[in-house]
Amino acid sequence: MTTARDIMSNKVVTIESSVSTAEIAKIMSKNKVSSIIITKDQLPIGIVTERDLVSKIVAQNKRPTEVKTTDITTSPLVVVSPLMPTDEVAEKMVNKKIRRVVVMDSDQPLGIITVTDFVKHLHGMLEDSENYKKVLYQQLIEDWEHWMS
């Protein structure tokens, strides 16, 4: 059984809610991530995504330096256990209509699962399936050749 831990991205960037949205955008760019976990007193309280920056600041012609991080933070976080089966993670994401969940152990984020992580996982499963078929067919041919000789 594949679990959340198996498909999550381990790169988690966190930042205190007191940091400006302009700084958040810079940190996301520097770290090449599409989201950042917002904390208060080192405890996760929400998430800011690229989409939040675009829809809540850029599209509304606001200045990032004048917008509080807490004004664009999606909260509460949608979290899953590292041991949650991936089918349950997918169901949770679909039901809540979200693109990412945070994998948490106690009160610490371990990773993030995005739609892209699911696509990578599905691709790997399909590749494994094709390789399995090739090996199976090869074995059948070898068995047939053995019995026909």
Q: Parallel, antiparallel, or unpaired: how do β-strands 14-16 and 100-105 relate?
A: unpaired
pLDDT tens, residue by residue, 51-100: 999 999 999 999 988 899 999 999 999 999 999 999 999 999 999 999 99
pLDDT in tens, 11-65: 999 999 999 999 999 999 999 999 999 999 989 999 999 999 999 999 999 998 8
The CATH number for 72's domain is 3.10.580.10
Domain assignment present for residue 86? The answer is: yes
Phi, psi of 45 (to 5 degrees): -120, -15
Q: What is the pLDDT of residue 122?
A: 81
- Residue 141's pLDDT is what? 78
Q: Say whether pLDDT at 110 is over 90.
A: yes
Domain membership of residue 98 (yes or no) is yes
Residue 148 in any domain: the answer is no
Question: What residues are paired with 85 via a beta bridge?
Answer: 3
Task: Tell me whether residue 127 is in a domain.
Answer: no
Sheet with 79-80, edge to edge strand ranges: 79-80, 100-105, 108-114
CA 25/CA 30 separation, integer angstroms: 9
Domain span at residue 75? 4-114
Count of positions (residues) in the chain: 149
Q: Is residue 79 part of a domain?
A: yes
| 29/34 Cα distance (integer angstroms) | 8
Question: Across residues 133-139, what is the average pLDDT?
Answer: 71
| 143 within a domain of the structure (yes/no) | no
Residue spans of alpha helices (H) in the chain: 4-7, 21-31, 50-53, 69-72, 86-96, 115-148
- On whether the CB atoms of residues 28 and 35 are closer than 8 A, the answer is yes
When pLDDT is cut at 50, 70 and 90, the band that residue 136 belongs to is low
Give the span between the Cα atoms of 44 and 33, in whole angstroms: 17
Number of folded domains that form the chain: 1
142: in domain: no
Residue 11 lies in a domain: yes
The pLDDT value given to residue 47: 96
pLDDT confidence tier of residue 106, bands split at 50, 70 and 90? confident
Residue 132: its pLDDT value, please? 65
Residue 52 and residue 64 in contact, taking contact as beta carbons nearer than 8 Å: no
The SS3 assignment for 43 reads strand
